[in-house]
Amino acid sequence: IPSNVDENAYKLQYPDPRELSMKLAEAKAEAVAKAQNDAIVIASDTVNIRGGQIHDKPKSYEEAFAMIKKVSNTHEIVYSGVCMINTATKRKHMDVAELIVHFNPIRDEDIHHHLKELEATKGFGHTSTGFDPTSMFALKHHKRIEGSSSLLIYGIPFELLLPKLREWDINI
C-alpha cells in the first residue's frame, strides 16, 4: 500500500542518514496504519551514503553512471530504517540496520553494459544505487559486505523484524 509520504520534506528536517531512514519508515508506517483496523503494518526506507553524501535514486542514465562510478574501488553505506505497527494493540517498533558494501574497481564499459540492460528492463529509478544489488553486475563487483545480508538480498532487514513479531505473538 503506497504511503504517499513526501520524502523531500524529511530530508531537510533530518540530515543524519540513520535518523532519516527511521523517520521515513515511521511516517510511511503511520500513514498506512491510519486506514487499517487490525493489521501489522511494516514499512522501511533506505538511505544510501556515498562519499559522505546522501544519494537519491538516479533519474537518468548519466546520473546512474555517475553513482556507480562513484562506488568503484570504494564503499557505500546503506541504512534501512524499519517501523512496524500493530494497529490492534497500537504497539510500535522502530529500528535501523546498517550495511557497508565494499566494491572492486568497476570498468566504464561494464557500467555502460549494465545500464543498457537496466534501461531496457526496469529503468534507473527502481533502486537508490543505480543497480539491483542482487544482480550479477553487483555481485561481480562486490569485494566485501558487512552488516545485514537480508537488507542486501531482500531490501529489508528481517533480522530486526522477526524477533519483535515473535515477541508480539505473531506466528510467521
Q: How far is residue 31 from each of residues 5, 158, 167, measured CA to CA in Å?
A: 8, 21, 24
Catalytic residue, chosen from 6, 16, 45, 56, is 45
6 is catalytic: no
8-state DSSP, 56: P
CA nearest to 45, candidates 89, 8, 7:
7
Give the long-range contacts of residues 51-60, CB within 8 A, separation 24 or more: 54/11, 54/17, 54/20, 55/128, 56/128, 57/124, 57/125, 57/126, 57/127, 57/128, 58/124, 58/125, 58/130, 59/124, 59/125, 60/124
The angle subtended at Cα 8 by Cα 118 and Cα 151, nearest 5°, is 50
Q: Which residues are annotated as catalytic?
A: 45
